[in-house]
Structure formats: structure tokens, C-alpha cells
Structure 1
Amino acid sequence: MTAASDGVARPALAEGAAEVGRRVRELRERRGMSLSELARRAAVGKATLSGLEAGTRNPTLDTLHAVATALDLPLTALLSTPAALRGTAVQVEVLRVFDDGPVTYELCHLRIPAGLAQRSPAHHAGVTEHLTVFTGVLEGGPVDAPMRAGPGVHVEWPADVPHAYAAVGGDDVLASLLIRSPRTR
């Protein structure tokens, strides 16, 4: 897979970073976890996490994933409302979150511009991703075993390992992404 063209880590949120920060603090405190402990578990700098909680930093998608994983929660648990998120290559619009007892499902619209790729860190244990491609050709899945899918093809993989997404060829990838996250607490 190729790297994103400029490799620049961009803020994940167009708006609402302060709300996300308040939510992170609330979830951390609810678990009786110190800022230092969450920073250590998420492998995120304490100053970065402090700025996120204070609402003075707009986190990257990787930071949000790391914090959610360290809290054993789906990414959308950090958001107060469905949101549009962006990484170095992927653009994700959260359409709906379904809580179904011991499992949370996050339904998203995914866009990857042609020629770009992005690596995603492992989610918490038991998370799976289910992706259906509408346009373009996707190369995605676990970093050590990527799959290709074109229009109309469904692929799924364990997302509790590092995984990646790439739009190969000349067309953007447009797809639906369903993330299944078991509750661990």
C-alpha cells in the first residue's frame, strides 16, 4: 500500500473538539483513571491528552482511536453526536450508532481519495470491520493480509490488529463501513 501523498496528520474533527475533550475527561474519570494512566495506555503524550481534554487541541484520528482503545470503547463513544472525521487519507462520516446489548455497531460512509492510503491502529479486542465498496478499488484489511475489493464487493476483517485502507487505481473509493465493537466493561 502506498502512503498518503503528503503524510500529514490532520485534525480529525471539523468542529466539536471541545465537546470531545469533555467527553474523554468524563469517561476517564468514570473509570477512575488518571490523566497519566490514560496517556500511558493510549501511548499519547500527557500534554496532548491534557490539551484534548481542555478543548485546546483538535486530535488526529489516530489519537482518537488510541484513546478510545485505551478506554475499551468504540470511537463514537468519544463523540457527543455523529460526526465527520478525517485521517491522513480516509474521510469518515458517522451515520448511525446502534447499541445492541453487549455490542455497539457504528455505521459509516467512507471515502478514500484515489491513490491515497492510511494505516489504522488496532482497536480493542474483538472489534471487526465490515466494508462494502460502491465505487473504486479498495485494498484494505489487516496490514499483514490485505484484501482487494471493487464495486459491490463486501470484505471484513478483525480490527483488533493494525489495519489499512488504500484507494488503488484512478478512482476514489466510496464505501459503507460497519464497525462491530463488543463491550468489554
Structure 2
Amino acid sequence: MDGTDDVGREVGARLRALREATGLSLSATARRAGLGKGTLSELEAGRRNPTLGTLFAVTTALGQPLSAALPVPADAAPDAAGTAVDAWLVERGEEADVYRLRVRAGARRRSAPHGRGVREQVLVVAGHLRCGPEDGPVVLAPGGTTSFAGDVPHVWEAEGGEDVSAVLVMRRPPA
């Protein structure tokens, strides 16, 4: 056994593909990332599991975000799907849940009020999102954030003809 797992091999293959797409040699990439050429070669071949620091170093050297090297889970079906919004539960906590959202272009979702005291915090990753209380939604561009009461009717709508990718944190009041 070589000590790596399927994820390590997939990450290695993605790193190699990213490097080749940039046209950089193994040596040049290793030098930019501050790694030994042998270390990078073993990572790309899937014979070594990368650390988070190593992944940041290599993806930065390639001018790519860390996410470009990470695999998308095969079971990427949403945990909750609707006609306008799909949601993937990322983390469940005592007082907050974190979701990855996709809001479909051209669709609008009116959300009924959630439990008393619920607050929703949104970060837009891609696209333009209109969201918030029905009587005063805001439009967010990539990198934009907002927070609003989730215990009133609120809306979710992609603007500009493209799907929106966002992160939603739903906070509940302490019990």
C-alpha cells in the first residue's frame, strides 16, 4: 500500500492538470511553490497526500484558487431541491447551520418565515443575487454579504441571467 487514498490521487491528478494547463514545468512550479521537485512529482502522481499548506502553495504558484485542486463529491445531489433554490447542508451546529446554495437563473423563491429569532447571513460566491425581506431585498454581487431576519417572508432571486452560488448561515436563537 502506498499510503495515499482516492482523494489524494484525485487531488494529485487535478494538480498535474492545472500545472499542464498553465504550461509550467514541474521544476518551475515546484520552485514557485517553495517545494522540492520530487515532492511535487509525488503529489501529482498520487503517491503522497498533500497538506493544506502544500495545496495552498501549489495552487497559488499556479494562479488558481485552492478549490481548483479539490474534488467535487460524487454524490453532489442537493440535500434540498426546489424550483428556484437548491441547498447542500455543509455543517449542522447547535445554533447555526451552514448551506451551500444554488439559485437558478430566471427563478424566484418566496420563503415563508422560519422560527422566531432566526437570522440568515448570505455570502455570494458567483452571480448576482436579490435576497432578503420581501419589503426590502438587496442585490449582491460576488463577494457581497447581507444579514436579515429569517422569521419574516423573504425572497431569493438570481439576477442577470446566470445561476448564483452562495453560502447561507442560518442562525437560531440560543435555547
Runs of 4+ in 1 over 2 A off after TM superposition: none
CA distance in 1 between counterparts of 2:124 and 2:82 reads 19
Q: Is the 8 A contact 1:135 1:171 kept in 2?
A: no
Q: Which structure: larger Rg?
A: 2
Alpha-carbon distance in structure 1 between the residues aligned to 2:102 and 2:147: 17
Counterparts of 2:163 and 2:150 in 1: how far apart (Å)? 22
Unaligned runs of 5+ in 2: 1-77
The one-letter code sitting in structure 2 at the alignment partner of 1:92 is A
Give distance in 2, aligned partners of 1:137 and 1:120. 18
Q: Paired residue for 1:26?
A: none
- The share of aligned pairs that are identical, in percent, is 37
With the length of structure 2 as denominator, give the TM-score of the two structures. 0.54
Count of aligned residue pairs for this structure pair: 98
Higher relative contact order (CA 8 A, sep 6+): 1
CA distance in structure 2 between the aligned counterparts of 1:157 and 1:123, rounded to whole angstroms: 12
SS in 1 for 2:152: coil
Give, in angstroms, the shift of residue 87 of structure 1: 2.0
1:96 corresponds, among 91, 112, 116, to 91
Alpha-carbon displacement from aligned partner over 1:106-150 (angstroms, at most 9, x marks no partner):
000000111111000001111000000011100010001111101
Matched, 1:121 2:116: no
Unmatched 5+ residue regions in structure 1? 1-82
Partner of 2:62: none
RMSD value over aligned CA atoms? 1.2
In the other structure, the counterpart of 2:127 is 136
Distance 1:128 1:88 in 2: 23
Amino acid at match of 2:173: P
Find the counterpart in structure 1 of residue 5 from structure 2: none
Structure 2 partner of 1:164 = 155
TM-score (ref. length: structure 1): 0.51
Q: CA deviation at 1:98?
A: 1.4
Of residues 105, 108, 111, the one that matches 2:102 is 111
The letter for the 1-side match of 2:172 is S
Shift of the alpha carbon at 1:88? 2.4
